[in-house]
Amino acid sequence: MKRDRIENLQRRQLLAAAATLNLWHWLPSAGAAPTEPSRGGPNGATPGAGSVTRRRLGPLEVFPIGLGCQWTPGRGPGAVNDLYASTTDRTAAIALIRRAVDLGVTLIDTAEAYGPFFSEEIVGEALQGIRGKVVLCTKFGFDIDPQTGARRGGRNSRPEHIRQVVEAQLGRLRTDHIDLLYQHRVDPEVPIEDVAGTVKDLIAQGKVRQFGLSEPGVQTIRRAHAVQPLAAIQNEYSMLWRGPEAQVIPLCEELDIGFVCWSPLGMGLLAGNVTSASRFKAGRDFRAAVPRFAPEALPNNMALVELVKIWSRRKNCSPAQLALAWLSAQKPFIVPIPGTTNVAHLEQNVLAASISFSGAELKELDAALAAVRIQGERLPPPVLAQTGVEAPPKR
């Protein structure tokens, strides 16, 4: 134990030196898992850690497919739930994360708000002994008591709160540093310069390596990046929701910022396990509150599902794999982080890293996708209102 403490201190000091030398339950971050069996990648092989080209999120290098860990406590002892009515247990959740690392996955994403604290605790336990193999990402930004986990409502990115949250996160994650720390949602009361400056200080202290934002306004991205360079923006992006293509992804390309996709499988729609007759239980399944999954919207939105199934047969893969591979084909700095509670689904998701499109295929598929009109907003109104927010000016 003493040796571990010394090594952790040394690592933190090293990170601090390098920096000096310049060198919420209902806030989704991951898509529901696929349910169809994989028809394999090229030659039926699962890509290993060295068989695919890594992607860059700013200075961070990661496997093309990450893992989103957004879980809440279930009703029984040790039970673990996701947002889409899937259930597992703590032991299995830990094993799933470790299996992801075995498969070569290096980007592990979670947040203080998931539980709250619950997901970070599972991730921290799962990464014992393999912490150095992953890029560990978490988030701050909601008004949650850092000691008790009580939700006080609203957002909170005041500098003193950020510092308290990070100290607590380091304990839950059982690590001495966070590789990528996101502001979960922009605080409309705190200038982004104050937020970025606080994270910059944490980087100088070796407690954080890189900074990111989730669902921010475009000008907030520029302002934050001017204070502390951003490694990644994390927004919803999929065949079902392509909003980031208008402004955010081009800005990421301009500023050399990576882009991480939450809900890359469209909350399960793109995995082929939702039909026009699907209904979702309020309080157990987040989709019950999402307008595009409403009974009046689903029949219209099945056109996208059918298109994905047609192309998955053409590419000899599952619909979920097709959806993930399409995202990867958009830009070389895009990394989806599908979530799942099922190891077989995890393995299928990882296979998507070996699927590619020719230029002609991508042009044809994009034209077909553009012809599909989706009905319904992507999020419930109160959640949607927290996206695309511009931070107040610095005075």
Question: What are the tens digits of pLDDT across the range 56-102?
Answer: 999 999 999 999 999 999 999 999 999 999 999 999 999 999 999 99
Question: What are the tens digits of pLDDT across the range 308-320?
Answer: 999 999 999 999 9
User: Between these two residues, 123 and 17, which has the higher pLDDT value?
Assistant: 123
**Residue 244: strand pairing partners:** none
The active-site residue, picked from 84, 114, 182, 237, is: 114
Cβ neighbours of residue 38 under 8 Å, at least 6 residues apart? 317, 318, 321, 347, 348, 351
Task: Look at residues 353, 302, 289 and name the one whose alpha carbon lies nearest to residue 327.
Answer: 353
Strand order in the sheet with 135-140: 67-68, 107-109, 135-140, 178-183, 208-214, 230-236, 258-262, 334-336
Neighbours of 226 (CB within 10 A): 13
User: Average pLDDT for residues 206-233, to the nearest whole number?
Assistant: 98
What is the crossing angle of helices 90-102 and 343-351, to 10°? 20
Q: What is the largest CA-CA distance in the chain?
A: 61
Residue 10 scores a pLDDT above 60: no
Residue 200 scores a pLDDT above 60: yes
pTM of the complete model: 0.89
Percent of the chain whose predicted confidence (pLDDT) is above 70: 87
Domain ranges of the chain: 2-384
Question: What are the tens digits of pLDDT across the range 142-189?
Answer: 999 988 999 999 999 999 999 999 999 999 999 999 999 999 999 999
Which two three-digit tokens encode residue 384? 């949607």
Average pLDDT of the chain to the nearest whole number: 90
- CA 174, distance to chain mean position in Å, is 20
User: Average pLDDT for residues 228-233, to the nearest whole number?
Assistant: 99
User: Average pLDDT for residues 120-128, to the nearest whole number?
Assistant: 98
Q: Which of 118-122, 145-149, 223-227 has the lowest mean pLDDT?
A: 145-149
Task: Look at residues 317, 338, 327 and name the one whose alpha carbon lies nearest to residue 366.
Answer: 327
Q: Which of 11-15, 93-97, 275-279, 340-344 has the lowest mean pLDDT?
A: 11-15
Residue 4 scores a pLDDT above 80: no
Local confidence band at 51 (pLDDT 50, 70, 90 cut-offs)? low
Which two three-digit tokens encode residue 224? 């934050």
Q: Is 114 a catalytic residue?
A: yes
Q: Does domain 2-384 have CATH number 3.20.20.100?
A: yes
Is the peptide bond preceding residue 116 cis, with omega within 30 degrees of 0? Answer: yes
Neighbours of 175 (CB within 10 A): 22
Which two three-digit tokens encode residue 241? 């929701």
